[in-house]
Amino acid sequence: MRKMNYQKILEIAKRRGIVYPSFEPYGGVSGFYDYGPVGKRIKENIENLIREVFIIKEGCFEVEAPTLTPEKVWIASGHVKSFSDLMVECLNCGEAYRADHLVEKHLNISCDGKSKEDIEKLIKEKEIKCPKCKGSLGEIFHYNLMFKTQIGPGKDKLTGYLRPETAQTTYLAFNRLWEVCRKRLPLGVLQIGHSFRNEISPRQGMIRLREFSQAEIQFFVDPENKFVSEKKFSEVKDIKVKLLDKEEREYELSLEEAVKKKIISLQIIAYFLGLSLKLFEDIGINPKKLKLRQHKDEERAFYSTDTWDIEFHSENFGRVELVGISDRTDYDLSAHKNLSGEDFSVTYNGKKFIPHVIEIAYGIDRPFYCVLESSYIEEDKRRYFKFPVRIAPYLAGVFPLVNKDKLPEKAQEVFKILKEEKIYCFYDDSGSIGKRYARADEVGVPFSITIDYDTLKDNTVTIRNRDTREQIRVDIKQICSYLRKS
Amino acid sequence: MRKMNYQKILEIAKRRGIVYPSFEPYGGVSGFYDYGPVGKRIKENIENLIREVFIIKEGCFEVEAPTLTPEKVWIASGHVKSFSDLMVECLNCGEAYRADHLVEKHLNISCDGKSKEDIEKLIKEKEIKCPKCKGSLGEIFHYNLMFKTQIGPGKDKLTGYLRPETAQTTYLAFNRLWEVCRKRLPLGVLQIGHSFRNEISPRQGMIRLREFSQAEIQFFVDPENKFVSEKKFSEVKDIKVKLLDKEEREYELSLEEAVKKKIISLQIIAYFLGLSLKLFEDIGINPKKLKLRQHKDEERAFYSTDTWDIEFHSENFGRVELVGISDRTDYDLSAHKNLSGEDFSVTYNGKKFIPHVIEIAYGIDRPFYCVLESSYIEEDKRRYFKFPVRIAPYLAGVFPLVNKDKLPEKAQEVFKILKEEKIYCFYDDSGSIGKRYARADEVGVPFSITIDYDTLKDNTVTIRNRDTREQIRVDIKQICSYLRKS
C-alpha cells in the first residue's frame, strides 16, 4: 500500500510534467532529475515563500554566487580533505558501493557516526560480499564527493570544484555584505541555488541527487548575543514538537520547554526550528510527520556547538532531512582568514570579533518531494494533490463548457483578464468538463472556472473548489479578487 | 568621460552590493561575478518579467534541468567537436590568448566569420607578437570551451560537461513536454538557469563570464507553419528598428516593412525581435542604443536558416549581444534522435514530422549590465539609477525623520504594514534625511517614505519620488495602493 502510493505519485509526476529523470533519451543518469512545467512552478512558489519569510519578514539579504569555485575555497573549508564518503569496490565485477550504506542494508543497523575502522571491521567480521555478484570486496577508501574541473587554459589554469554547498560562497563576500548592510548584527544572508555532490551510487530518486537545489541562510551574529528577541521567540515558542536528542531520548514538548530544559542549547536555533516548521506546514508538508533530531556528538562537525535537523518520516524513504540548523561558530570565516589573509573581524558595540554563524540550510528538492507525498489524496475515484493555494502550479483553469455558441470566445476573454492580472492559469477545452476537472485536480489546481450559457446572459462563471468540489457563481469582474483572497 | 561613467557605475555596484567580483579574498578569478543583495533583487525582477512575458502572455512552459550533463548530449549537439575558440600561447612567457581577439585588437579589424587559416595567416603576415612579453606565438589550435568532469566513481563513471547552453537540456525532454502540453503546436518552453563557458581569457567584467545566467525559449513549431497570427504580429509590427543585415546594409524601418522586404526572412523571428525590444525597454534598457544585427552566412550555424541578434551599443564595451533569435530547424532534435535512437517526431494535423525550433536566447547578465548603464544618471550633485519601478531592488525605503519622540515606533509600524503586504522595502534611520534619500537614490529605490511629527497627528506620511524629487502626503492606509499603482 505504502509503496503503491509512491508508484502512483511517480507515475503522475512523470506523466503530468511535475518531475522526471533527466537525460531520458540517453538512458538517464542516476542522481539527476528535471523539473517539468508543473513541478517548476511549484518549486518557484516554494522558493518565493522562503524569500518572503527570510527577506521580507526576517530582514535577510539575498545573494547569488557562482557554483563553480576555485580550489582554495574548499581547501580552507576542509572539503578537499574531508568531504568524502567511504567507498568500496567489488574485486570481481568492479561495482562501487557506499560502504556505510552496504553495511546498513546488510545488517539492518544505522552507521551514523561510525568510523572507517568500525565499518571495515563489520564488513570483514560479517563477511559482507558484493550484493550483485557475491564477489569479495576490496579495501575501503575515502572518495571525495566534489566534482572537479579545470578553470581556464594554459599555464594559468586553476583546479575548480562545483560547490557542495552554497554556504562558503556566501562567506567569501562577508566583508562586502558587512558594508552593504550598514555594519549591523545580526546580518542574515540567503542564497538559493544549485549545489553538487558526486554521490557514489544514488538510488533514491529525488531524495539523493547529484545536482540539487538549496536555500541556505547564513545568520551572522555577535558571539555573545546568540538569541532573538523575546517578542520574536514568542511567535514560535508554543509550537509542540517531537524531538530526538543526541542521546536518542525522545520528547514531545513546546519549543520554549525544549530551550528551558536545555534540550535545544540555543534559543536562536529553537527559533529557526519553529520558523521552519511553520514554513513546511505553509508549503503543504504534513506536520505530524516531522521530527526534530539533534546530531550526535560523533556526527556533528567538530566546530559546531549544536546542530538540529528537521526530518520528515516518509512512507517510502524513511527519514528525510529537510533542513539542518547549526551553530557554525566562527569556524568558516576564521578558516578563510587563515588561508587568504583577509581579515573578517568586525568592530561592533565597542568589541572586535569574528562573527559567529547560525546556519539554516534547506534542501529544496526533498521538501518538494515531501509536499507531493503529503498532498496526495485518493478519494472515491479521485486522485489529486491538495497543494496549498500558494504552492499550486496554477491558481486556476479556464474551461468553456462546450466548444461552440460563442462560449470559447467568452472563455478566452476571461482567460485574458486573468493573464492581465498576472495570474498563472491555463486554458483547457478538450474532453468533457468532468475530465478537465480531473486533469486540473491531478496537478493540484485549486480552482476551475467554467464559462457556460448563463455566462453569456449574466456575465457570471462557475468556480469549482478542488477540495470541497463546491461550485459557486461569481461575476467575471470579481474573479481575480475572489481567487486572490482564497 | 565615457570610461569615467563605467568606473562610477562599477564603484557604486561594488560598494552598494549590486555586483562584485567573486572569490575576492582569494584574489578573484576572471569571468566570475557575484550578485550582491541589491543586484540579486534586480536580477530576480528581470527574470520574473521574462516569466510574465513568456509564460503568462505567450503561454510557454518553464522547466529546470541540471547544468551538469553527460557527454553524449554534447556529442549529439556538436559541442564536443566544435564548441571551441582558437587559442594561441606565447612560446616565451606561456600566456594564453584567444587568437581572434588578439588579431582584432592588434589590427583594429573584425574577425567575425574568419577561419583558423585566415587568422593564422594574419598573425604570421603581420608578425603579431605576445602583447605581454613580445615573445613569439605558437601554433593556433582549437580549445574546447566546455568545463569537463567525471560523474560517479569506479567502472561506471561517465564524462560530464557543464552545459554551455540550456537549449539541449530542454530538447532532451521534448517527448515528455509534448505529452504535458496536450500535443499541440506551437509549444514554447522556457528555461532560466546557469550555463558555463571556459573562456580563454575573459577581460570584460560582466560581459564575458565563465558562469552566466540565461533565459532561453525553445519555441517548437510546425515546419510548414513558422509564423504567428496577424493579431499577435500587429502588437509589434509598427516598432521602428535599426537593422544591419548580413551584407552589412543598414536600414531604419518598421518590423512589418523589414518582413515585407524580406530583410528578416521569417515573420515569427520579427515577432520575437519586437517582443524582446519591448521587454528590454520595460526593464530599463535605452532603446535608442539597440540595433538588430543579422548573422553573416559564415557566422551563422550551418543548419540555421536565419539568425538575428539584438545588440546594445555600450559606452564602455561597444557591441553587446543581449539576445539571439534563430531558426534552428529540426537540427537538434534530429541529432539527438540519431545518437540516442529516440524518436522525436510528432503527428500533428495529419502530418508526421520532427518539429522545428525557433530559439529566443537571452543572456541575463549582459542585459543586467545594460540596465545599469542605461539607468545611471548624474544630475547636479545627485547620482542615481533610474530603474523602472518593476525592476528596482526595493519599492520603498522607510525613514523616521528623527530617532526620538516616538517617530521610530511609528516608522516601524509603517514598515510592518508594507512587509505584511509582501512589499520589498527597507528601513533606514542613520544619518540625515538628505543622506538617506541619497543612499536610496544610489540604488535606484523609486519611493522614500518619511514619518515625521505630522504623522503622529494625522496619520499621513511624506512619499518622495526618486525621479521628480516631488513629495506628497499620503495617508498610511493608502501607502500600499499608492506604491502599487505607480
**pLDDT tens-place string over residues A416-428:** 999 999 999 999 9
A69 CB neighbours in chain B (<8 A) are: 23
Digit-coded pLDDT (tens) for A110-142: 888 788 999 999 999 999 999 999 999 999 999
B176 CB neighbours in chain A (<8 A) are: 14, 17, 20, 24, 36
- Of residues B3 and B239, more confidence is placed in B239
Binned at pLDDT 50, 70 and 90, residue B2 comes out as low
- The CATH number of A394-485 is 3.40.50.800
Q: How far is CA A122 from the centre of its chain?
A: 33
A56 CB neighbours in chain B (<8 A) are: 419, 422-424
Digit-coded pLDDT (tens) for A362-379: 999 999 999 999 999 998
Distance CA A111, CA A462 (A): 56
> What mean pLDDT, rounded, does chain A reach?
95
A181 CB neighbours in chain B (<8 A) are: 37
pLDDT of residue A2: 52
Please tell me what DSSP assigns to residue B17.
T
Q: Residue A66: which of B32, B41, B193 has the nearest Cβ?
A: B32
Distance CA A151, CA B30 (A): 10
Distances from the Cα of A225 to the Cα of A263, A348, B437, angstroms: 19, 12, 32
* % residues pLDDT > 70 (chain B): 99
Residue of B nearest to A98 (CA): B153
Binned at pLDDT 50, 70 and 90, residue B1 comes out as very low
Q: Residue A154: which of B29, B65, B94 has the nearest Cβ?
A: B94
Distances from the Cα of B104 to the Cα of A174, B111, B112, B293, angstroms: 39, 6, 10, 19
Digit-coded pLDDT (tens) for A180-226: 998 999 999 999 999 999 999 898 889 999 999 999 999 999 999 99
pLDDT of residue A205: 87
Across the interface, whether the CB atoms of A176 and B20 are under 8 A apart is answered: yes
Collapsed DSSP state (helix, strand, coil) of residue B377: strand
pLDDT of residue A371: 98
Digit-coded pLDDT (tens) for B113-134: 788 999 999 999 999 999 999 9
> Which residues does residue B377 pair with via DSSP β-bridges, in sequence order?
B384
Digit-coded pLDDT (tens) for B310-331: 999 998 899 999 999 999 999 9
Across the interface, whether the CB atoms of B43 and A64 are under 8 A apart is answered: yes
Fold category of B84-143 in CATH: Herpes Virus-1 (3.30.40)
Q: How far is B374 from chain A (nearest CA, A)?
A: 23
Q: Which of A16, A24, A29 to mutate to probe the B interface, most B CBs <10 Å?
A: A29
Distance CA A151, CA A340 (A): 19
pLDDT of residue A1: 43
Across the interface, whether the CB atoms of B151 and A67 are under 8 A apart is answered: no
pLDDT of residue B156: 83
Distances from the Cα of A417 to the Cα of B54, B56, B231, angstroms: 16, 11, 17
Digit-coded pLDDT (tens) for B343-369: 999 999 999 999 999 999 999 999 999
* % residues pLDDT > 90 (chain A): 91
Across the interface, whether the CB atoms of A154 and B35 are under 8 A apart is answered: no
- Are A20 and B173 in contact by the 8 Å Cβ rule? The answer is yes
pLDDT of residue B408: 97
- Are B213 and B222 in contact by the 8 Å Cβ rule? The answer is no
Q: Where in chain A is the domain with CATH 3.30.40.230?
A: 84-143
Binned at pLDDT 50, 70 and 90, residue A3 comes out as low
> Which residues does residue A465 pair with via DSSP β-bridges, in sequence order?
A447
pLDDT of residue B299: 85
Q: Phi, psi (5° rounding) for residue A357?
A: -125, 125
* % residues pLDDT > 70 (chain A): 99
Distance CA A130, CA A136 (A): 6
> Which residues does residue A294 pair with via DSSP β-bridges, in sequence order?
A308
Q: Residue A63: which of B25, B37, B52 has the nearest Cβ?
A: B37
B99 CB neighbours in chain A (<8 A) are: none
Q: Where in chain B is the domain with CATH 3.30.930.10?
A: 41-82+145-364
Digit-coded pLDDT (tens) for B72-95: 999 999 999 999 999 999 999 988
CB-based burial label for B23 (10 Å; 0-12, 13-18, 19+): buried
B198 CB neighbours in chain A (<8 A) are: 150-153
Digit-coded pLDDT (tens) for A435-459: 999 999 999 999 999 999 999 999 9
Beta strands in A15-102 (DSSP E): 19-21, 33-35, 61-63, 68-70, 84-89, 96-98
pLDDT of residue A5: 84
A383 Cβ neighbours under 8 A, 6+ residues apart: A8, A12, A376, A377, A441, A442
A112 Cβ neighbours under 8 A, 6+ residues apart: A296, A299
> Which residues does residue B47 pair with via DSSP β-bridges, in sequence order?
none
Residue B8 CB neighbour total at 10 angstroms:
13
Residue of B nearest to A425 (CA): B56
User: How far from each other are the two terminal CA atoms of chain B, in whole angstroms?
Assistant: 34
CB-based burial label for B216 (10 Å; 0-12, 13-18, 19+): buried
pLDDT of residue B113: 79
Burial A28-38 (b: 16+ CB within 10 A, else e): ebbbbbbbbbb
Task: Name which of A165-174, B14-23, B202-211 the model is least confident about.
Answer: B202-211
> How many CB pairs below 8 Å do chains A and B form together?
252
Distance CA A286, CA B26 (A): 44
Closest by alpha carbon to B134, among B98, B93, B103? B93
Q: How far is A300 from chain B (nearest CA, A)?
A: 26
pLDDT of residue B381: 84
Residue of A nearest to B71 (CA): A26
pLDDT of residue B3: 58
Length of chain B: 486
A152 CB neighbours in chain B (<8 A) are: 29-30, 96, 198-201
Distance CA A388, CA A284 (A): 6
Task: Tell me yes or no: is domain A41-82+145-364 CATH 1.20.1050.40.
Answer: no
- Are B457 and B406 in contact by the 8 Å Cβ rule? The answer is no
> What is the average pLDDT across A241-255?
97
Digit-coded pLDDT (tens) for A26-84: 999 999 999 999 999 999 999 999 999 999 999 999 999 999 999 999 999 999 999 99
Helices first, then strands: H and E counts in chain B: 17, 26
> What mean pLDDT, rounded, does chain B reach?
95
Digit-coded pLDDT (tens) for A287-311: 999 999 999 998 888 888 999 999 9
pTM for the complete prediction? 0.96
